[in-house]
Structure 1
Amino acid sequence: MTDPLAEHRPLAVAVAYRMLGSVADAEDVAQETLLRVHRELSAGTELTSPRGFVTAVATRLAIDRLRREKRRREEYIGPWLPEPMLVDTTVDVAGAAELADSLSTAFLVVLERLNPVERAVFLLRDVFDLPFAEVADVVGRSETNCRQILVRARRHVHDDRSRFATSGADRDALASRFFAAAQEGDVAGLVALLAEDATLTGDGGGKAMAFTEPLSGATTIARVLSAIFRRGRALGAQTELVTLNGQTGLLGRDPDGRIVFAMTLDIAEGRVEGILSLVNPDKLAHLGPVSDLGLRGWRRD
């Protein structure tokens, strides 16, 4: 029999993914959320707002999971990036394009600077638009305390995301031009699209070739990207424009079609502010078969 709560699964995944930055963990949280809701209904509990209950349970489970993973993330080798998501659950959840920015890789990286409760309060209030009374009930704090937490969280987020963001259509067009220039090895073209203080962040997790610290500077990044893609072409690799986290991104595949990397961009004020490249095979496995090309040295030139 079809689970009557299945319609709320996209919501549970959307909340959990924004909290955790992991597709697999978000799916686990969503499954546990629906099981708990099912148990409540089986026990005769009347849920006046199933969506509200799903949001609350998914958030609390995600907070617990973030706290348990604190040490693992602190010990992570190199920069940490969220797992890429090919399917935009925003459309299923809310049908609201304005939620897409909260799914972007760059935004999720910013959220990593918040503690679990700050992250929950910020997302529930500013992204999912829950009333303060409901937010307070979810995180177990007073409304007054939640308002204070939100002020701090907004300060952290807005300090990093205060720039004027490029519109969605312009952003995707710029991303397409940028990826084309990278594949063609057009250093001058890349420099023209990069902000002067742009950064390139690679997440290999200690398992694939990646820079242990972000690179900075338009010229440096343009030359490095040109070398990376030249090396990829020599190895027979192919690339594909896809929608990652609600925005235009790039998947790299080896000659057998297995995934080597997923790349997204942080674009603001008409320039590429950041390139976020994920090569950790553990974080790519949910997208399909993963290549060992990155392990052998895609980035060696």
Structure 2
Amino acid sequence: MSVTGEPDPAAHFTPLRAELIGLAYRMTGSFATAEDITQEVFLRWNATDRAQITTPRAWLLKVAARLSLDHLKSARHRRETYVGPWLPEPILGPEEPPQQAAHERAQDISVAFLLTLQRLSPAERAAFILHDLFETPFAEIASLLGRGEAACRQLATRARVHLGEAHPRQTVTEEDAQRIARAFFAASRDGSEVALQQLLAGDVVLHTDGGGIRNAALNPIHGVDKVTRFFAGLSRKGRLSHVPLLHLGRVNGLPGYITLEADGLPQTTALDVRDGRIVAIYVVRNPEKLGAVQARLSETFAAGQQDAVTNCS
């Protein structure tokens, strides 16, 4: 029995757990943090007088949003002093943390979209995510943010303007996603400048996130020539020649893969593709962001799903 006398506090919570993770992940950019926040929401839900709550989903979403905002305040200094480009924590597979609304961008957790979300103020982010993705009335958002409904509408409107500046994600079939990911892995590993230039758009941008823990470029690298030379240089130094491919599939909904690097740690690569060319490359090397990826790989191996694992060493 819980403190409220109700026998099963999970009855309302469990069906909404994925939504709560989806909200917190979009707010914070960290899947691990989103899971922690969701667990804290459950603890608070278990401890509250649930008989007094008429709309459990609204209460749970509001608590998840408040905890996400609290996390953003505490993480502000760490983000400001982050070494090199900051990228969201990668998640694998086509399945995306869900939400309620059928918004045209609601299913988009591509890295570019998440980065644009992160550039919004916390209040703008909360107003947009809660209203547009989770269909929360502005009256409830106003209560959460301590602002009037009109002000919250303005926050959401400003967020939509900023998000509208981000390029919409193009649908890439599974066949094309695997073909492009395999081709880029082979070309970058071999340092083939001709193959790379055939795959990359002229204005391609490479983002590498090592978090100051593993080697990575300290600034984004712009343009096909510079990106091509970057990978060709790594290949000449022998840093990519023996890198095995552990997993080929979606990374944040984008074509991508996971490799096992020379230091024995994994690395994720996600490729933003438009009109058949790679326009952005997102490489996450920071081991603090790869815990969920390592756990997912361990589950795959444990389940014996070897058809999902390709070793190209």
Q: For the superposition of Structure 1 and Structure 2, which TM-score range results when normalised by the shorter chain?
A: 0.7 to 0.9
Q: Helix, strand or coil: the match of 2:290?
A: helix
Q: Does 1:250 align with 2:257?
A: yes
Report if the CA contact (8 A) 2:207-2:219 is conserved.
Answer: yes
Percent identity of paired positions between Structure 1 and Structure 2: 36
Q: Helix, strand or coil: the match of 1:117?
A: helix
Aligned partner letter, 2:14: A
Corresponding residue for 2:311?
Answer: none
Corresponding residue for 2:39?
Answer: 31
Structure 1: runs of 5 or more not aligned: 290-301
Question: Residues 229 and 6 of structure 1: is their aligned pair in 2 closer, same or farther, counting only changes over 3 Å?
Answer: farther
Question: Residues 226 and 48 of structure 1: is their aligned pair in 2 closer, same or farther, counting only changes over 3 Å?
Answer: farther
Report if the CA contact (8 A) 1:106-1:265 is conserved.
Answer: no
Counterpart-to-counterpart distance in 2, 1:281 and 1:91: 22
Query: Normalising by structure 2, what TM-score?
Result: 0.79
Q: Does 1:217 align with 2:223?
A: yes
Corresponding residue for 2:298?
Answer: none
Counterpart-to-counterpart distance in 2, 1:174 and 1:53: 44
Aligned partner letter, 2:212: G
Question: Residues 131 and 172 of structure 1: is their aligned pair in 2 closer, same or farther, counting only changes over 3 Å?
Answer: farther
Query: Normalising by structure 1, what TM-score?
Result: 0.82
Which residue among 156, 169, 174 is the counterpart of 2:173?
169
Question: Residues 123 and 93 of structure 1: is their aligned pair in 2 closer, same or farther, counting only changes over 3 Å?
Answer: closer
Corresponding residue for 2:301?
Answer: none
1:128-151, Cα deviation, whole Å (9 max, x unpaired):
233333333333322210111122
1:253-281, Cα deviation, whole Å (9 max, x unpaired):
1489x543111123334432211111111
Cα RMSD, aligned residues only: 2.9
Aligned partner letter, 2:254: Q
Counterpart-to-counterpart distance in 1, 2:215 and 2:239: 13
Corresponding residue for 1:149?
Answer: 155
1:137-167, Cα deviation, whole Å (9 max, x unpaired):
33332221011112222222222x1x35322
Question: Residues 19 and 48 of structure 1: is their aligned pair in 2 closer, same or farther, counting only changes over 3 Å?
Answer: same
Structure 2: runs of 5 or more not aligned: 1-6, 296-313
Aligned partner letter, 2:45: V
Q: State the Cα distance separating 1:101 from its structure 2 match.
A: 4.6
Matches within 5 A, 1:141-290: 141-159=147-165, 161=166, 163-169=167-173, 172=177, 175-176=180-181, 177-228=183-234, 231-254=238-261, 258-288=264-294
Report if the CA contact (8 A) 1:164-1:269 is conserved.
Answer: no
Aligned partner letter, 1:7: P
